[in-house]
Structure 1
């Protein structure tokens, strides 16, 4: 009887009943309303869109990588041939490989800009310390994915990149040689090295990355978007305390008014996420993906000759994001102590970057009022650029 009544009801009524049943079980309407109509800072919306663009680019990398897995064979005898087939025998496959390559390049650039925006606006301060920590770890995971991805084609560039990258742990005291042997599967780069690098690139790093993305999004939902200091200025002509109280009253959750200094509890002006900020997010993400599609179609992805460990004439050229470290390695092997010092400095810089919220505890938000962190950051950036320029000059005689 119940089945007959369900069948005889009009289609529109049945669809409405089905949607009500689904919404009752999942609470999807409430979640969408909370996500779309939360309050976000009015000023600086295009800069905030870098976070959404980063997520969109990561998803593009996921989907293009899945397509590449349909043809790629992770073995030293077939890896190069499988990608050479994509280049010469499958135009669509060559385009997808170009998408994956240019997507990784632009992803590194965009996530770097996103972290720069977060750093300059001091969005890592209380209560958003863990937002920064998860974001910084995501940045290093993206670099790890880019480097391990460059090792997979098993052409000349990939092989010698693998030799260099897997040798880096050697400079770690005590455990370095063990890590290098474990990664390589022996003393030298070989079939096991490629298999383990493939597993790291396809399983280990993506698992860690998407776990951190989930944590990062949860923390963002909990604490809200801080934005820049320009959103928290007050009108000198009016009572500041009154203005702060009024903007806290107007702002909707998730602004954490109880876990932060009152002045920065909520922005001066807010707008609903939909349609204001969502429009900016969609436009920026669409523009970046369009650029990746065009570059993938025009330029594709390069592929050198098949790997030849016995060659004496090949000169490895690292990826652009690996260039500063490659220049470090040019200096480091001349003296083991120098090498240990170089990688010690790099490790210390990475640790300071991750732990920045626990180091900078001052209440100041404006960049010019935070020289104790801005000056060291500029020095680190200058050092990276300096070694990158040296590397370009060495490789291209500019």
Structure 2
């Protein structure tokens, strides 16, 4: 093969399921290439005297066959595809030569232009594989892998958020997707959640979902406000369930956009059960829970080596002395780790009193983060003894996350 051939590469997708692939070299190149080969179902033989810990772990787990030795002529027998990835140029050249003689396509990691195949910049989104190869004015010698990676990333990102290809997808599948929108910042919704939003006919949105994303929806999308304002106007859960069922049965693609994660104090399972009982297809898209993300964004780790080995997330919408409470506050007070309270602004005083009464020290650090991850985020620091008064004095309102424990005093943003 001419190294300066001006002819472009011929793109093709290799079907490697059950077929032998030989990878020579156990370094970082192997570590990067192996997952995709295994995902394609290839029977991979690794030839290398040494390997990185991650590659060795794949061999130990039986995912690959590892020949712990240097490459020798004949190793490509019965192979369908090969990768020359050693740190010795002469060895790589010999591997390519054998591949040429055996009519085996071979990628050469240290000098791609001297191989018989190239590895494209590859990405995947919603069942679509994007593979990008570039070449300059002089063919193979002008390949630009950085440009290929940049183009791949741009295409995959647009496929992921639904801004590319959403209108060409054809008929949508009726059903409901319970999408966790994350803590509020629109950039913190998952790629899958954003893509489903772009494909929706109807969006039933909570107040705590990422509101900015609603403005990006096409004009034909119907947005239904299912806001549950604490201690104020609310749409009954039964009415929300009925709306979801109605639109799904009418053949529409429905997204139930919720704050945080659908199953973390989000009543997502109630909705899923009702939809399943009505024969409606349900997809659950997990979201980033505010219980972890909001403290993190405010500079508070919910766990920290030598400080907290556990964290507990509790709903504070019911006071400790309320007969409906399912929380063992006595046990919580005895824990030494981090306590994260959601929906606890109204009952913060009662909760702090219960924890103190059962042994949690008065000087336990407390941080209250209102509207975490949003432009309006603010943090108020206190102790367990002063938290309720500080929250009232600072006019803290929902949504807010309360973090109790020594982790509050960890990090550069600690008081």
Would you say same fold, with TM above 0.5? no
**TM-score if structure 2 supplies the norm length?**
0.20
**TM-score if structure 1 supplies the norm length?**
0.21
Q: Which has the higher helix share?
A: 1
Q: Which has the higher strand share?
A: 2
Higher relative contact order (CA 8 A, sep 6+): 1
Max Rg structure: 2
